[in-house]
Amino acid sequence: MDEVKSPCIKQCFRDSNDVCFGCRRTGEEIGNWSKYSNEEKRAIIEETFKRTNVRGESPPGNYLR
């Protein structure tokens, strides 16, 4: 089975809840990505689709997903 790739899109700015504006992972998830199993990585990716960033906050350059 192939390794689940990181969802990082190189827009690495986090809101005040520590959620990345680019990939919507938390700082902890980003830092531990290489330690997670493929099953854990898939579960995290699924969770990112349910997350939103803090209302009213935006990253430099106004990039939003």
38-53 per-position pLDDT tens digit: 999 999 999 999 999 9
5-26 per-position pLDDT tens digit: 999 999 889 999 999 999 999 9
Provide the residue ranges of all domains of the chain, joining segments of one domain with +. Answer: 1-53
**Residue 58 pLDDT:** 84
Element (H, E) at 31: helix 27-32
Residue 50 corresponds to which tokens in the numbers above?
């349910």
**Residue 64 pLDDT:** 52
One-letter amino acid at 16 equals: S
pTM of the model: 0.85
